[in-house]
Structure 1
Amino acid sequence: MAEEFSYLQFRVEDKVGIITLNRPDKLNAISWELAEELSGLLHRLRFHDEVCTILLNGAGRSFCSGADVNFICGESERPIPGTSDPSRPIPRSQRKTPGGPFFEVTRQLVAVDKPVIVAIQGHAVGAGLAYSIACDRRFGDTTTKMAAIFTNIGVAPDCGLSYFLPRIVGFSNALMMVETAKVFKAEECKALGLLDELVPEGQAFAAAFEYAKLLAQRASVAVDMARRMIHMSQVSTLEEILDYEGHAGVAVASTLDAKEGTLSFLEKRKPVYRGM
C-alpha cells in the first residue's frame, strides 16, 4: 500500500500494518484531520489481505493526549454541535454523529475485522484512552499514564469509552474513572486491566510488535472470525452466539488454512498457514 499521510505514518512489516500517530509536538492529540486519516486507513485495511494484524502506536513521548481541545471548544474552523455558535453551518452527516471522524475511529478499530494491538508510552488519555481500550491488547511501558480526563475540561466521555471501559475495569471502577478523571500510573493501569502487558521503558513497541507478528503468522481467517465472535458475544444471547458459531465454523472450515491446520495436527508437524 503506497499511501501518503499528513498526520500518520504507515508501513507493512511481516504482515503487520504499523500505524503511527504523527503529531509528536502535540503529544499526538487527535485533530479532525488526523481522525479522518486514521478512520479512513482502518476502513481500507479491512480489504487488504497482505495485512493480517494491525499495530497502533504514537510518535514521540506519548501515545495520545486525547482529542485536540481546539475542536472540542467549538472555536476551530470546524464547528461542533453544542459548543459552536448555532448559526454556523454544520454538515448534515455531523448533525447525526456530532463526533464526526473522532467517533468513526473507534467504529473502525472494531470493524477492521483484524486484531489491533496498541503500544503505549507516556499519555493515553481522553480519546487516546478510548482508542486504546477498543484495541485487542494493550502493551505499555513504565512511563504510561492513562485517564478518562473528560470531566476535567467539563465534557462527557466519548469515542466509545462508555462502552469499553466498564467491560475492561468493571462497573464501579469505570464510574470512579469517569467521575474523578484521575490519572493512573503504569502499575495502577496494569492492576486495573487497562494494560494487558507492562514492559520496561522504551520496550512497548517491540513487545507489541512481537505479539502482532505472532498473530499474523496464524490462520488469519480463523483468527479474524474468532475475534468477531468475541465482539458479538458482548451484545448477544447464548442462543444467538451458538447459531453464529455454527455458520462461522462452516465458513472457516472451507479455508485452505483449516485443511492445513487439521492435516498438520494429524501428521504431527508445524502448520504453514497462508491466510487463505
Structure 2
Amino acid sequence: MTEELRHLQFRIEDNVGIITLNRPDKLNALSWELVEELAALLRRLRYVDEVRCILLHGAGRSFCAGGDVDWIAGDSDRPMPGTSDPSRPIPRSQRMTPGGPFMDVTRQMVAVDKPIVAALHGHAVGAGLAYAMVCDRRFADATTKMSAIFTNVGVAPDCGLSWFLPRIVGLPTALMMVESGRTFGAEECKALGLVDELVPAGESFAAAFEYARTLASRASVAVCMARRMVLMGQTATLEQILDYEGIAGVIVASTLDAKEGTQSFLERRKPAYRGI
C-alpha cells in the first residue's frame, strides 16, 4: 500500500493510519504530485478496515506551507490555468477543474468516512490551513503559525477553506482572516478557535496520536456514522437529519460492537470493541 508513495509517508499503528506530508525541505508545500498521492491514499483508506482513525501531520519544521508557489505562478512543468502562458496546452480535465487534486484532497478527507486528527507545528497556511480546518480536531504546539495567506500573494482561498473556516471560527473572523492575510501565533490560534488543543513545542504529534488512538479503540462504525451525520447536518434540514438518524441508528445497531456496548453496560464492565 505504501511502496508507490514518493511525497508522503504512511503507516498504521493501533488502528490509526498515520499520514505524513513529506517535503520537509519545502516546508511540505503542496505540489501537484503530493496532492495526487494524498487524494488517492485517502480514497483507498476508506476501504481499509484496519484503519479506524487517521492522523495527518508534516515532516520537518512545519505542517504545511500551502500550495507550491512555483505551480501557482504558472512556471512549473504542469501549467496553471490563469497564470501560465495561454499558449501552453492544458489537459481538458484541468480546464474543467483547475484545482484538480488540490480540491479532491478536501473531498476525500470528508468521504473517507473516518475521523481525521491534525497534529500541527510550524506553518499551517494557505491550503495547509484549509486541510487543517477539514480535520475533525486540531492539536497544535507552541511553534504553530496559521494564516489564510492567499490574498497576500494575490490569489483567492481554495481547498474548501471558504466552507470550513466560517463554520469553525464564525463569519466575522473568517472574513478578517481571508481579507487581511494576517498570520497568527499559537496562542492567538487557540483564542480564535483555529486549534482545539494547544501543547508545548514538539508535543503535538504525541497528543494527537493519543486522541486518535482513543477514537480508534471505540465502536468505530458508530463513531464514523456519528461523524457522517454531524457533517451532513451542516447542510441538511432537520427533517432530513431526523430521517437519516433513524436509518443510521438501525445500521449501527446491527453491528457486533453495538451488542458488546449494551451488554458491557448491563454487566458493568469495560467494553471490548472490535470495530465491526
Category of TM-score, reference length = shorter chain: over 0.9
- 1:113-134 per-position Cα deviation (integer Å, ceiling 9, x unaligned): 0000010000000000000000
1:204 matched to 2:204? The reply is: yes
Query: Which residue identity is paired with 2:162?
Result: S
Query: Which residue identity is paired with 1:120?
Result: L
Matches within 5 A, 1:143-182: 143-182=143-182
Matches within 5 A, 1:47-58: 47-58=47-58
Query: Which residue identity is paired with 1:231?
Result: L
Count of aligned pairs between the two proteins: 276
1:89 matched to 2:127? The reply is: no
SS of the residue corresponding to residue 17 of structure 2 reads strand
SS of the residue corresponding to residue 18 of structure 2 reads strand
Identity of aligned residues (%): 75
- 1:195-232 per-position Cα deviation (integer Å, ceiling 9, x unaligned): 00000000000000000000000000000000000100
Distance across 1 between alignment mates of 2:108 and 2:248: 21
- 1:136-166 per-position Cα deviation (integer Å, ceiling 9, x unaligned): 0000000000000000000000010000000
Matches within 5 A, 1:1-276: 1-276=1-276
How far has the Cα of 1:77 moved from its partner?
A: 1.2
Distance across 2 between alignment mates of 1:257 and 1:89: 53
How far has the Cα of 1:3 moved from its partner?
A: 3.2
Superposition misfits of 4+ residues, deviation over 2 angstroms? 1-4
SS of the residue corresponding to residue 107 of structure 1 reads helix
- The runs of 5 or more residues in structure 1 that have no matched partner are none
**TM-score after normalising by structure 1:** 0.99
Distance across 2 between alignment mates of 1:154 and 1:2: 36
**TM-score after normalising by structure 2:** 0.99
How far has the Cα of 1:2 moved from its partner?
A: 4.5
Distance across 2 between alignment mates of 1:13 and 1:4: 20
- The runs of 5 or more residues in structure 2 that have no matched partner are none
- 1:253-273 per-position Cα deviation (integer Å, ceiling 9, x unaligned): 110001111111111111111
Contact persistence 2:2–2:9 (CA under 8 A): no
